[in-house]
Amino acid sequence: MSAHGRQADPVKGHTVGTHPAEADPVEEYIADLTALLHGPARAKARMIEEIREGLTETVATHTRGGSAPDRAADHAVREFGTPEELAPACQRELTIAQARHTAWAVALTAPFLAACWYLTSSTAHGQDGLVPRAAQSLATQLAAVIGAIALLAALALAVTGPLARRLPTPHRLPLAIAWVGTTAGVAMGIATLTLAVASLLATDWPLLALAGAFAAVSHAVVAPSARACRRCARPAFASPPSPGGVVGH
């Protein structure tokens, strides 16, 4: 028996040290919910903190009503529903926030692509332009694509911002914004490569190198945001949203 006790005690001590015997139900709930959600770090942190405060207030209410602290925490968690039940509504709100983040990224970086087009076209003069005609034509087409995408991004910001208080957000809009951002990121990447190659063939290469740097920075800003938006939109909008609007951020 003593040998068995010597073998069991270290295990027991390790278990208690690693996993407290009585874990806080509120913090367990918050940890589980946090793991289920994806979205902009600030918006997600703010949402999680609001839910934690709500749970804490509910626990306090039950405690004032005479419940023991541990039982009050259990009651509060049950009232909120399971993390799996709460997560879809939270994820839809975070997805709208991420969609707006992506739309802003596209809208703010689009002028860089316009600058790329201007710098590229300004280095070509007549038939014997310093920049190959193919590169100039491609850069012009990409700038036109980015211009159209910038208009769509501005429209998306309006729909998910001021208009969201009066009209419901279209069900598939976040996913559409995600793919708009993806298209913009691809165009920016192609523009970067095109301008890099053109700068090697041009005499006035510093302007093209600067334009390529603009395109590269734009791609670095837009592409990760669009990828995050796709990740958020797919699970959040796999099923129709429940009644009630989502507040734009």
- For residue range 151-205, list pLDDT tens digits in order: 888 888 888 876 666 666 677 888 889 998 998 888 888 888 877 877 777 676 7
Both structure tokens of 42:
């600030």
Tens digit of each residue's pLDDT (9 = 90 or more) over 90-118: 998 899 999 999 999 998 888 777 766 66
State pTM to two decimals. Answer: 0.70
DSSP structural state of residue 241:
P
Residue 96 makes CB contacts below 8 A (sequence gap 6+) with 160, 164, 169, 174, 246, 247, 248, 249
d(CA 117, CA 124): 11
Whose CA is closest to 156, among 108, 225, 107, 116?
A: 107
Instruction: Let me know: does 121 contact 143? Beta carbons within 8 Å.
Output: no
Whose CA is closest to 188, among 148, 233, 139?
A: 139
pLDDT of residue 118: 67
Average pLDDT of the chain to the nearest whole number: 77
- H/E stretch holding 245 reads none
CA angle 224, 226, 232 (to 5 degrees): 105
In the chain, helix, strand, coil percent, each to 5?
A: 80, 0, 20
Residue 177: other Cβ atoms inside 10 A = 31
Tens digit of each residue's pLDDT (9 = 90 or more) over 8-39: 444 444 433 444 446 788 999 999 999 999 99
pLDDT of residue 85: 92
